[in-house]
Amino acid sequence: MTRSFTGLDASTIASNLERVRSRIADAGRDPAEVEICAAVKYVPVDELGALAEGGLTLVGENRAQDLVAKHERWGESFTWDFIGALQSRKVRDIAPLVRLIHSVASESALRRLEGSPVGEVLLQVNIAGEESKAGIAPPDVGSFIEACPVPVTGLMCMPPAVERAEDSRRWFAATAELAATHALSRLSMGTTQDFDVAAAEGATIVRLGTVLYE
């Protein structure tokens, strides 16, 4: 059962944001080098004002129709990224609204990006080769970069589910190594459960929800 974050408090968000930055620093990274993208999939449109008041400036939405609705209400309050599974038929809806698409993972999405206004994209890699997960196989990253009609500036990964955050380190490290091989500067990796490990392994964007809101 999914939940919805309601009754959000700006002061709580501000305190949580500082704690997140402190954990990033404890992981050996300069917090200024790691963007905090607030995942707003379960944040109702009316609650987004608390995020802005709490100091969050970058938000990521998973669903195209919700991105359109939330951007219409709060467009100038945030920088917007798309972080969910990317359906090729939705590319033209979201491209004018976002700074960055994190989840390009198919040839059909590449074709739809032709002539779109989005400035840059990340390729979603299936770093662990999970059959149940979308993403580009690591050996195919180079060909996708060559075929993409807009600049590819980084990679996004979602490692396998694990009990301990530390168990994701190998996958974050592998994604960082893959990005370096292709001279890509952005790394979108790490969520509430493991963002400090991801930061230690080179993440430049972490996608956070619960840790910011509760």
CB-based contacts of 90: which residues, under 8 Å, 6+ apart?
A: 64
Q: Is residue 2 part of a domain?
A: no
State yes or no: pLDDT of 3 exceeds 80.
no
Q: Is residue 57 part of a domain?
A: yes
Q: Is residue 3 part of a domain?
A: no
Q: How far apart are CA 87 and CA 210, in angstroms?
A: 26
Tell me the per-residue pLDDT of 139-149, one tens digit each, with 9 for 90 and over: 999 999 999 99
Domain count, the chain: 1
State yes or no: pLDDT of 204 exceeds 60.
yes
Domain containing 137: what range? 10-209
Q: Is residue 214 part of a domain?
A: no
pTM: 0.95
Q: How far apart are CA 97 and CA 118, in angstroms?
A: 8
| Banded pLDDT at 2 (limits 50, 70, 90) | low
Angle at CA 130, nearest 5°, toward 100 and 37?
A: 25
Q: Is residue 23 part of a domain?
A: yes
Tell me the per-residue pLDDT of 149-183, one tens digit each, with 9 for 90 and over: 999 999 999 999 999 999 999 999 999 999 999 99
Report the pLDDT value the prediction gives residue 4, as an integer from 0 to 100.
Answer: 87
Q: Is residue 5 part of a domain?
A: no
Q: Residue 186: which of 138, 146, 153 has the closest Cα?
A: 153
Report the pLDDT value the prediction gives residue 127, as an integer from 0 to 100.
Answer: 97
Tell me the per-residue pLDDT of 36-61, one tens digit each, with 9 for 90 and over: 999 999 999 999 999 999 999 999 99
Provide the strand spans (E) within 96-143.
100-104, 120-125
CATH code at 150?
A: 3.20.20.10
